[in-house]
Amino acid sequence: MNIEINEPKITIETALEHGISSDEWEKIKIHLGRTPNFTELGIFSAMWNEHCSYKSSKIHLKRFPTKSDRVLQGPGENAGVIDLGDNIGVAFKMESHNHPSYIEPFQGAATGVGGILRDIFTMGARPIVLLDSLHFGDINHEKTKFLSSSVVSGISSYGNCIGVPTIGGETKFHSSYNGNILVNVMCAGLLPCDKIFRGNASGLGNPIIYVGAKTGRDGIHGASMASSGFEDSTTEQRPTVQVGDPFKEKLLLEACLELMNSDAIIGIQDMGAAGLTSSSVEMASRSGTGILLELDGVPCREIGMNPYEMMLSESQERMLLVAKKGKEKVVHDIFKKWDLETQIIGQVTDDQRLKIIFDNQEVTNLPIDFLTDEAPIYNREMSKTKVLEPADPIDKLDENESAEKSLLALLSHPNHGDKKPIWEQYDHMVQTNTVIKPGEDASVTRIKGSKKALAFTVDSNARYCKLNPYNGALYTIIESARNLSCKGAEPIALTNCLNFGNPENPEIMREFSNVVDGMSKACRELEIPVVSGNVSLYNETHGNDIYPTPVIGMVGLIENHLLTVPQGFRNLDDKIFLLSPKDEIPLPNNTPHELAWIKTGYEGGVPPISNISSARSVNTVCREAVINKVINSSHDLGEGGLAVALAESSISSSSSSLGSIIRLPKSCTGRIDSILFGETCSRIIVSLDSKNVSKLHKIAEENEVLTTEIGIVGEKYTIYSDGNSPLIDFEIEKIAHVWENSLKGFF
């Protein structure tokens, strides 16, 4: 072919442009004993950036608990895997696609879905559900409507086309994300426990096979771009955003799963961030082997692509396989059946090096361990933990403001209103396994061929984490576990996406470290391992960092899919009880953070602090009450407190005429807005038939949990304190109308 490889002269300036620091540059030259060429510099840029190397976060992530009796695969692979019993495993993971989604929201979000799907079926699992966590700027910001509607369209387009239901998630709006939105996507899939595939490259001489779509110039430097903040116009960065093809991905999914039943492959790896570079290097690193790539064989859809472009392209719907020698035809025939490319582009070696040949020239010769195990690890400077001012947001609120006005303000806000305009764009019923649809504490999907079901929830609370990173993170874990317990599910494991600003800022690293500590504390005490996840740093624009936003994706197991309950009330005259820790007042005079922010914009004070053991006990009672058919509905008390939880249970009831008639206990003292809208960590409202009250009391007593009767299911939404004059008195249609129109015309 004799293509001349015209590479620029490599200088320190070139390295800096690739995100390589001056210290890293010197380290590379000393280790190699020479200056790297342009292709090699690109490889270092990809493997040593934050997105791939976790160089600022790795030392902190080691503090997570990652093991349990159910864990089959923890962090370090494409996804974590949990044993559900009966040789059924669930693989799941969450990833971010924040920067691409801000630059090109439709494709950024769509390819985020495509990428997380590949992480799952690369493990040998058939994807069964998708969830997402979306954080947009202030609802009135000039870019918010365009970004949010385009992101949702991108998610729905890709997920609907490939036939995987999006069954849950969260969508929040806050000015912290005006210049840097967050798009986190979670996927889970099922597989036999004895057929887990991993990204290995073992067996001297085994062929390395490229499969899937052709390579183009889209997505080059995508991983590097995700490891830096935004400065000026994003238009020039659009070529770094990948372009997805969900129909090609569907073919790739089916071809890979068929191949995995053929005994023809040793390992498989998605060409995701950093494309061919990361997939080949990571496979070799896991196996302690080397890789020889011959790039002349790489299928390209653009003319004249050079090694640098081929190695760094992040074109979608591609996989790298290591096949068993002599099984090449099996691979080829299966992928030909699905009308997909296959090409042998190299082989496994035993020299622990990455060697690349192009046009009969060796263009790369690098040690694998230097790209991976010896990549820089930074113990970044951290500021001292801040001591929060005790100022309570309640002081910003008018004590005489009517409770009715406060409730309507919360229900009409986009963060609390009806998300149906979003999730109705998603096909949440495809595969016909969805038991609890989007919009509840957690979503539930049954496992075909089994009585079992899985519950999923995605949760975050950035404002709490900004006020107190440790307690905010701890709260988020507890909330996720509570959401699953409301469905009768046992929390068994979690994935996460840790979204933060610039790690070179000591305050950001202090927030990051404290969040990890809070998460670790909660996970250990609740016995919930972290089996996969993602870190997204440099979420900033012009030096303005986002709020610390750890997103938790938690999975719960239900042994019988028939034993779950909705959050909405089901029967007129059912008793309504509040479950709460025995050592706390059922309805304490607590801070209404959400109400204060929505009404005044104030974001101060101390977030709720919980006793983890007490929270676990409340979750246990709710879970056992569901499993034993004691209760008919359950719903956690989160942001907005009791009044919002009751409203949501009324609006989502089985009949539009079912509400709640509540009389506050005499033990309630203090400001009404604190009692009705105050936020704590460990409360759940349940409804049940009067004949089951004694059963609920028994379960609660055994677990040292307080049960407080607060009312009945009625035909209106009414809350009384002392006397006969209600604090709140609404027809259900009134609050439903306000809630349902909170995002009208936005999506």
Question: Secondary structure of 306-330 in the HEC alphabet?
Answer: CHHHHHHCCCCCEEEEEECCCCHHH
Options 60, 97, 99, 174, the catalytic residue: 97
Calculate the CA dihedral of residues 148, 504, 458, 129 and round it to 10 degrees.
80
Place of tokens 């093809």: 245
Place of tokens 């690293």: 509
Residue pair 224/278 in contact by the 8 Å Cβ criterion = no
Please give the radius of gyration of the chain, using alpha carbons only, rounded to the nearest integer.
26
Alpha helices, DSSP H, located in 499-590: 506-526
As given in the structure block, the two tokens for residue 274 are: 């950093």
Alpha helices, DSSP H, located in 241-320: 246-259, 275-287, 307-312
Known catalytic residue at 332: no
Options 51, 174, 416, 593, the catalytic residue: 51
- In eight-state DSSP terms, residue 598 is H
Residue pair 452/561 in contact by the 8 Å Cβ criterion = yes
Residue pair 113/160 in contact by the 8 Å Cβ criterion = no
**How far is Cα 452 from Cα 445, in angstroms, rounded to an integer?**
9
Known catalytic residue at 51: yes
Place of tokens 């009312």: 711
**How far is Cα 728 from Cα 408, in angstroms, rounded to an integer?**
10
12 Cβ contact partners less than 8 Å away, ≥ 6 residues apart: 22, 25
CA angle (92, 281, 266) in 5-degree steps: 65
85 Cβ contact partners less than 8 Å away, ≥ 6 residues apart: 452
Residue pair 174/138 in contact by the 8 Å Cβ criterion = yes
Give the DSSP H or E segment for 148: helix 144-162
Specify which residues 77 forms β-bridges with: 75
Question: Which are the catalytic amino acids?
Answer: 51, 97
